[in-house]
Structure 1
Amino acid sequence: MAKDTLPAIGEAEASGEIAELYDDIRETLNVTAINYVWRHIATIDGGLRWAWDVAKPMFVSGRVESECEHLQAQLSYPKLPALSDTTLSLVGVEDDGRNMIGAILDTYNRGNLLNMVSLSALLAEPEMPPVGNRSRVDLPFTDIALPPIPEVVDLSGEVSEQVLVLNDLGAKPGPNRVVASIYKHIALWPGYLSLSWVQLAEMHSDGSLLKLIEETQQAARLHATFLAADLGPRPDGAVADQVRSTVFEFTDTVIARMIPIGQMLRQSLIKT
């Protein structure tokens, strides 16, 4: 079972340059929380500055969001059973909880697309995008302030176990050192964690979830090649090597995995 073994600098504990970079990342990506990948890169001495200096020009130009909108238009996922107010209430999720869970999922669904494509560009060789008009779909957005993210060690035994079981859904064989922040965040509503497992477990068992993840990863990496020419300066050295290694681990595992999972979970919360 996965364990949360990668260190990270939390938003509340960040200070100095790290706090300033977090503020810049939040403002530039138009999100209300910093994804785990950036919080882990921040533990590399000089890593967050290196990575953000490389990636930021793509965001400032609007190219990342535009490319992610083209990617979003291509993504199509099965619809999970819709969760009624009654179903959610029976597991302890009332209207306020439903709205906050939706805001959490919107934040991560936006951030995961932006991070998957932009960070994959750090590892990609540039290619020219297709000529002509391409379809696009707006990315999710919320300006609701989110509660702090609990860490796995801070959760009760049963809740932490449920988080880690969920984190293994759709995971590739081998070490799985990163626990998706979505699961830690929605662990504030343990009943919803259990519903999420019920919704996703069969897709994991029959292999369809892993197929969706691999298709998403392939599509995102293609769109990343269209951005690679827009990167900022990338000086080589030990910091660059550590950042690239981290980027590969996250984009090869947890970020790609959570794009389809997060979007399917969000769809099931929409009232019909």
Structure 2
Amino acid sequence: MAETALSEVKEADATGVISEIYADIRHALRVPMVNLIFRHMATVPGCLEWVWGTLGPIYTTGQVITAAETLLADRKPLPLHFSASEIASWNIDTAAVARTCESYGRANPVNLLGLKALQFIMVESAQARARRKPARGQPLKAPAVELPLLPPMADMATLTGEVKTTLLALTQQLHGHDGRVIPSFYRHFTAWPGLLAGLRTQLQPLIDSGSLMEAADALNRNAHGAARMLYLDSPVTRIEPPSDAVLASLTELIDLFPPNICKMTLIARALGAAIRAQP
């Protein structure tokens, strides 16, 4: 698999408005990290500012969070069959792993709906290009909340050896030869290579049987309908069109990310359920 990972502005490197928007995202979602989709948007001038200026209200009011909870309310986690002895052999911090699963299981479906709502918005934007005005994209101040601590996210540029090989193998397992999206979720677990290897082993039967893809496709379809309702019922219908560069970047991201987000939502929930089920 070619290593052509998407560029990103890391949370530690963010400054100015980007840093403020990152803080808003964390507080609105009540998670301690900013997902890759936003970190990549930050590399395109004006993109994250426009997106957050557009979608921010449905995040900070909780509309999209409520919709995401409803989307997953009756969906059982996919089965992962780890034995207690196998998990013990990984020597992991089970509480930290569970927090990471919970954080991504919460943020991913919210961002899935946000991206799909954005898709509807962009259709409207294309129709409104003749009356374009500069997008302000100001941060929206969400109330401060105490956020859980997660294991640090590994920097792909510094990873080497078996851990990097396993991480790339997990990526290829899901995405084939497309190495652009290396899941941030996995990058929190590089201190525990046994966990990554065990997860890869357990996921393979779900991939081979089609269970993971079937569940991901169903989630993607249901999210499309839920996002349309968000679009129709929320302030995001009254927006200023983005620049051509932002529009081109978002069009590519909306094609790339939703299927990946669906799969990673299911994997985070499955791993979290398996960890919590241990005595």
Structure 1: any 5+ residue segments left out of the alignment?
126-140
Match of 2:190 among 179, 187, 190: 187
Mean CA deviation greater in 141-150 or 101-110:
141-150
Q: Are 2:229 and 1:226 aligned? A: yes
The residue number in structure 1 matching 2:91 is 92
Contact 1:32 1:146 (8 Å CA) reproduced:
yes
The residue number in structure 1 matching 2:137 is none
How far 1:148 sits from its partner (Å)? 2.8
The residue number in structure 2 matching 1:44 is 44
CA distance in 2, matches of 1:211, 1:3: 27
The residue number in structure 2 matching 1:114 is 110
Q: Are 2:262 and 1:256 aligned? A: yes
Over residues 16-72 of structure 1, what are the superposed CA-to-partner deviations in whole Å (9 max), with x where a residue is unaligned? 111111111111121110001000000010111001011111122321111111101
Letter in 1 for 2:255: F
Structure 1 75/81 Cα, relative in aligned 2: closer, same or farther at 3 Å?
same
Q: Are 2:80 and 1:80 aligned? A: yes
Identity %: 28
The residue number in structure 2 matching 1:129 is none
Contact 1:6 1:177 (8 Å CA) reproduced:
yes
CA distance in 1, matches of 2:21, 2:4: 24
Matches within 5 A, 1:18-57: 18-57=18-57
The residue number in structure 2 matching 1:135 is none
CA distance in 1, matches of 2:115, 2:2: 23
CA distance in 1, matches of 2:161, 2:251: 34
CA distance in 2, matches of 1:251, 1:234: 24
- SS for the counterpart of 1:203 is helix
Mean CA deviation greater in 178-187 or 36-45:
178-187
Contact 1:153 1:160 (8 Å CA) reproduced:
no
- SS for the counterpart of 1:124 is helix
CA distance in 1, matches of 2:170, 2:23: 30
Contact 2:7 2:40 (8 Å CA) reproduced:
yes
CA distance in 2, matches of 1:215, 1:176: 24
Letter in 2 for 1:249: L
Match of 2:241 among 227, 235, 244: 235
CA distance in 2, matches of 1:234, 1:268: 45
Letter in 1 for 2:200: W
Over residues 172-212 of structure 1, what are the superposed CA-to-partner deviations in whole Å (9 max), with x where a residue is unaligned? x6634111101111122111101111211111122222112
The residue number in structure 1 matching 2:168 is 164
How far 1:217 sits from its partner (Å)? 1.1
Match of 2:213 among 191, 210, 218: 210
Over residues 84-129 of structure 1, what are the superposed CA-to-partner deviations in whole Å (9 max), with x where a residue is unaligned? 2x32221222xxx11111111111111101100111111137xxxx
The residue number in structure 2 matching 1:155 is 159
How far 1:143 sits from its partner (Å)? 3.1
CA distance in 1, matches of 2:214, 2:240: 33
CA distance in 1, matches of 2:29, 2:41: 17
Structure 2: any 5+ residue segments left out of the alignment?
122-144
CA distance in 1, matches of 2:74, 2:43: 34
Runs of 4+ deviating beyond 4 Å: none
The residue number in structure 2 matching 1:13 is 13
Q: Are 2:199 and 1:196 aligned? A: yes
- SS for the counterpart of 2:188 is helix
Structure 1 36/63 Cα, relative in aligned 2: closer, same or farther at 3 Å?
same
CA distance in 1, matches of 2:227, 2:146: 24
How far 1:265 sits from its partner (Å)? 1.0
How far 1:152 sits from its partner (Å)? 2.4
How far 1:14 sits from its partner (Å)? 0.8
Alignment: residue pair count: 252
Mean CA deviation greater in 103-112 or 59-68:
59-68
